[in-house]
Copies of this chain bind each other. A is one copy, B any other.
């Protein structure tokens, strides 16, 4: 079923319209949900949202969860126990569940009213990847429940974003190679961004660097940088700054000005330079993280390559009991 059809079906089944949307997942899948949390918190006047790591959702279920709630759960392999459990407790509470996974045999599907089996891999159009699908789901929910003035502009952005990414990847190819060469021996990175992209600052830190490269890393919100974190800034510490298009760009620019003065190892990935501004001003900010995810994949591949540490290498995940 299409995104629009799923949401209209759910909406018709609710008593008073969809009242809240819970975004529930773990790690990389949770990262894919952050732009949707940001979107609803920014744009909605009625619909409520909450973002939860699955095990916290299971153990500390929000009292607000009810029969008019939609719970979106995403799990790439589809069998993350706490994500499956989250869908289960959501259904027990009578909520509508939407499950996203890449695995058609996923345990998650057992507790999913509306499944989305998404595409994955470097060749897939990003609009068929979970970050964009979840964003489309919440945009649809907003539009159905209270109307969304920039619905058409958003839909237009969804059609454009993959093309922007294809060009952007070409542009950053050589500089990602230079980045990997320059930073190959570093042991720690700070990742800065703001707005819809803060989730991907977190994601690049915990998934791409910590999980896939066993490197130390931490996300810093560009707005928070000046209220504590910036005291670690020096000429030796590496920073990656993802500069957004849209309303929070001023926060990233302020961080850049400071970094240019007091740091020496600064890698900037700029959505403006990458051509994101061909998407309409009213919605462009929500597409930053979709762009950054794909662009930063180029960086992590070069880093993995030069460090002889393939992105698939794990010592604990899926290998030991936990």
- Taking CB atoms, residues of chain B closer than 8 Å to A194 are 56
Q: Are B224 and A53 in contact (CB under 8 A)?
A: yes
Given contacts A216-B216, A223-B53, whether A231 and B314 have CB atoms under 8 Å apart is: yes
Q: Which one of B26, B43, B211, B217 contacts A223 once the chains associate, using CB atoms below 8 Å?
A: B26
How distant is A287 from chain B, measured CB to nearest CB, in Å? 15
Q: Are B56 and A248 in contact (CB under 8 A)?
A: yes
A28 CB–B CB distance under 8 Å: yes
Query: How many residues of chain A are within 8 Å of chain B by beta carbon?
Result: 67
A107 CB–B CB distance under 8 Å: no
Q: Which one of B210, B231, B233, B315 contacts A229 once the chains associate, using CB atoms below 8 Å?
A: B210
A188 CB–B CB distance under 8 Å: yes
A59 CB–B CB distance under 8 Å: yes
- Taking CB atoms, residues of chain B closer than 8 Å to A59 are 247-248, 250-251
Q: Are A233 and B316 in contact (CB under 8 A)?
A: yes
Residues of chain A from 82 to 113 with CB closer than 8 A to chain B in the complex: 82
Interface-located stretch among A44-52, A174-182, A289-297:
A44-52
Copies of this polypeptide in the complex: 2
Q: Which one of B27, B64, B212, B221 contacts A227 once the chains associate, using CB atoms below 8 Å?
A: B27
Given contacts A228-B28, A258-B322, whether A53 and B221 have CB atoms under 8 Å apart is: yes
- Taking CB atoms, residues of chain B closer than 8 Å to A257 are 322
Q: Are A188 and B210 in contact (CB under 8 A)?
A: no
Q: Mark A197-214, 1 if CB is under 8 A from B, else 0.
A: 000000001110011101
Residue of chain B at shortest CB distance from A262: B316
Report the Cα distance A205→B231, complex, angstroms: 12
Q: Are A45 and B64 in contact (CB under 8 A)?
A: yes
Report the Cα distance A260→B233, complex, angstroms: 32
- Taking CB atoms, residues of chain B closer than 8 Å to A82 are 223
Q: Are A62 and B50 in contact (CB under 8 A)?
A: no
Given contacts A194-B56, A250-B59, whether A227 and B28 have CB atoms under 8 Å apart is: yes
Report the Cα distance A214→B262, complex, angstroms: 14
Report the Cα distance A231→B219, complex, angstroms: 17
Residues of chain A from 289 to 322 with CB closer than 8 A to chain B in the complex: 314-317, 320, 322
The 7 A-B residue pairs whose C-beta atoms are closest, nearest first, are A27-B227, A218-B218, A206-B228, A211-B228, A55-B223, A26-B227, A53-B223
- Which residues of A are interface residues toward B (Cβ below 8 A)? 26-28, 30, 41-46, 48, 50, 53-56, 59-60, 62-64, 66, 80, 82, 188, 194-195, 205-207, 210-212, 214-221, 223-224, 226-233, 237, 247-248, 250-251, 254, 257-258, 262, 285, 314-317, 320, 322
